[in-house]
């Protein structure tokens, strides 16, 4: 029986025809995604679900999807898909991470022109019968400094276009290496320097805990007077109320926003302010981009349903069915090792060296490498997946090296990941026992036996009396329950580490309390996807 796919959002007719041409039965019901009750009644009839942003794939919907094998998102954003719930159900979630990059970058450039020359207001004034030449005095882009926050795929395209306009480009990105910056033709700077130097600032980062309100009231105050700000990335990256005040005071000369904290945006403190340009999340809204992502998702889903091939999956690596049964726990381990490195590292990474020892050295190392790299990069960019991770690492100039070796020690197999930056090297090793559970077995050369939990707290300190008591007392005073506790040290009186297993994410205030004692070299909350 031919696999059956439901298209529940607006999708190109050409993409729908691809399903049919490949031998996949397809029902094109583009309004169904907005009716969650109706969708829930029919979802059990389908092997695949092709969506854009309107369809919400919740845990409740997935419970009804008894046949579902794959969800394909035409576009990059998967905020509307419960990926952990899909993973638990064994449903692959695919996206098309690079199909709309040029379109989004071009929209940012267009918005920059619009706010530089006050085009929307000038258009409205002229069409109202006015002729206000003196009112609309703009600025040139030529020789101005563009500050790019986020120098990934889209930020890189924006930088290239800006250089073509003879702008000077400074870029802030924790993962941007000196070599990659040089190749792009941009100057790598810290955030404060970018804020102080830029005539225009454009945002191209995902929304994470680290990037939320990256243009806060405090940071807006650090910007150059007369700066113009463009956001075509994600709502929540800037404080809209603070930006409105900065516009009213004249400190910020203009702003152009395609995205908002709440969407659809029916109201905002930025609406109806002079020299503010707003568009309704049009970053990916071109005929070419819509067509590209639609065709890509149709091909990817057809490949999987007909041949088992996996491309651009967010919750599964590119491995065969035979490999998956053996490699599953090791892929999890590789991802956790990468996630540890990524969360512990804030400076640009130059190289990632991965050592495979024992039986794991004979597995599909491409998939394991991708899992490590994705784990590292997801700390800064949650949109990275197992397929796109090597591409993103290459774009950022991160060197990846792999070493295989026969069994050398106590463990039948282990993986060791070493991260190299300008300032330091950091390593972590792990293995999988017969129970299939990944474990950390060494951190910074210190032997340890630590299962991996969802919420953990890592500390490093000198091996002196009182540390354990201090940790326990501080947790107790702040009502933080310690589920488990693991210790390790390099030697008596030397460096020691501790890992606390917590029931939930720790309050940053508790972390600050521990740091303020002066007893710890490092205090780092960690989160791992253990489902």
Phi-psi region of 196 (alpha: psi -120 to 50; beta: other; left: phi over 0): alpha
**Residue written as token pair 């007719």:** 13
Rounded distance between C-alpha atoms, residue 485 and residue 471, angstroms: 10
Question: DSSP assignment, residue 359?
Answer: G
Task: Supply the Cα-derived Rg of the chain in whole angstroms.
Answer: 25
Question: DSSP assignment, residue 508?
Answer: H
CB 216 within 8 A of CB 223: no
Other residues' Cβ atoms within 10 Å of the Cβ of residue 32: 20
Element counts in the chain: helices (H) and strands (E):
17, 22
474 three-class SS? helix
Facing residues of 52 across strands? none
Catalytic residue among 204, 281, 336, 396: 281
Burial class (CB in 10 A: 0-12, 13-18, 19+), 58: middle
Other residues' Cβ atoms within 10 Å of the Cβ of residue 178: 12
Catalytic residue among 22, 204, 234, 439: 234
Rounded distance between C-alpha atoms, residue 253 and residue 236, angstroms: 20
CB 486 within 8 A of CB 450: yes
Cis peptide before 449 (omega within 30 of 0): no
Name residues whose C-beta falls within 8 Å of residue 107's C-beta, 6 or more positions apart in sequence. 232, 258, 279, 282, 283
Rounded distance between C-alpha atoms, residue 126 and residue 419, angstroms: 58
Question: DSSP assignment, residue 292?
Answer: H
Question: DSSP assignment, residue 505?
Answer: P
CB 114 within 8 A of CB 137: no
52 is an active site residue: no
CB 177 within 8 A of CB 350: yes
263 is an active site residue: yes
Catalytic residue among 263, 288, 422, 425: 263
Q: What is the largest CA-CA distance in the chain?
A: 84
Nearest to 147 by CA among 122, 131, 167: 167
Buried b (16+ CB within 10 A) or exposed e, 205-216: bbbbeebebbbe
CB 200 within 8 A of CB 228: yes
Direct distance between the N- and C-terminal alpha carbons of the chain, in angstroms, rounded to an integer:
32
204 is an active site residue: no
The pairing of strands 413-421 and 276-278 is unpaired
Burial class (CB in 10 A: 0-12, 13-18, 19+), 146: buried
Residues taking part in catalysis: 234, 263, 281
């Amino acid at each position: 029986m031919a696999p059956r796919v439901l298209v529940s959002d607006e999708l190109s007719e050409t993409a729908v025809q691809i399903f049919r041409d490949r031998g996949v039965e397809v029902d094109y019901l583009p309004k169904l995604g907005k009716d969650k009750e109706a969708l829930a009644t029919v979802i059990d009839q389908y092997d695949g679900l092709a969506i854009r942003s309107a369809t919400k794939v919740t845990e409740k919907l997935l419970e009804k999807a008894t046949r579902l094998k794959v969800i394909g998102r035409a576009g990059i954003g998967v905020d509307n898909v419960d990926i952990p719930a899909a993973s638990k159900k064994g449903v692959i979630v695919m996206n098309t991470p690079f199909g709309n990059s040029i379109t989004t970058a071009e929209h940012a450039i267009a918005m920059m022109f619009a706010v530089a020359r006050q085009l929307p207001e000038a258009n409205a004034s002229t069409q109202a019968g006015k002729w206000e030449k003196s009112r609309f005095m703009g600025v040139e882009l030529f020789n101005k400094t563009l500050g790019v926050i986020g120098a990934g795929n889209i930020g890189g395209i924006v930088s290239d276009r800006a250089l073509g306009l003879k702008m000077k480009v400074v870029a802030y990105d924790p993962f941007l290496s000196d070599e990659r910056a040089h190749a792009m033709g941009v100057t790598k700077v810290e955030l404060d320097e970018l804020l102080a130097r830029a005539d225009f600032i454009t945002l191209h980062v995902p929304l994470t805990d680290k990037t939320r309100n990256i243009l806060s009231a405090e940071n807006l105050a650090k910007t150059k007077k007369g700066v113009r700000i463009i956001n075509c990335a994600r709502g929540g990256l800037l404080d809209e109320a603070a930006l409105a005040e900065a516009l009213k005071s004249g400190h910020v000369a203009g702003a152009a926003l395609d995205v908002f904290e709440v969407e659809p945006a029916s109201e905002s403190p930025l609406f109806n302010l002079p020299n503010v340009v707003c568009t309704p999340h049009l970053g990916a809204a071109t005929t070419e981009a819509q067509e590209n992502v639609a065709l890509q998702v149709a091909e990817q889903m057809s490949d999987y349903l007909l041949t088992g091939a996996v491309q651009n999956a967010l919750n599964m690596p590119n491995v065969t069915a035979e490999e998956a049964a053996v490699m599953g726990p090791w892929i999890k381990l590789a991802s956790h090792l990468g996630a540890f490195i990524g969360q512990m590292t804030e400076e640009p990474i130059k190289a990632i060296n991965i050592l495979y020892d024992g039986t794991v050295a004979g597995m599909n190392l491409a998939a394991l490498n991708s899992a490590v790299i994705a784990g590292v990069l997801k700390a800064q960019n949650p949109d990275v997946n197992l397929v796109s991770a090597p591409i993103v690492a290459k774009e950022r100039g991160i060197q990846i090296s792999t070493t295989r070796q026969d069994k050398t020690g106590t463990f039948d197999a282990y993986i060791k990941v070493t991260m190299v930056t300008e300032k330091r090297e950091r390593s972590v090793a792990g293995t999988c026992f017969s129970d299939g559970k990944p474990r950390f077995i060494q951190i910074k050369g210190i032997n340890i036996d630590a299962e991996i939990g969802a919420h953990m707290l890592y500390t490093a300190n000198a091996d002196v009396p009182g540390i354990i008591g201090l940790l326990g007392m501080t947790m107790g005073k702040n009502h933080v329950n310690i589920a488990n506790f693991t210790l390790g040290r390099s030697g008596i009186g030397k460096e020691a580490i501790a890992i606390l297993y917590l029931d939930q994410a720790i309050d940053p205030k508790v972390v600050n309390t521990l740091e303020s004692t002066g007893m710890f070299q490092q205090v780092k909350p960690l989160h791992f996807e253990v489902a």
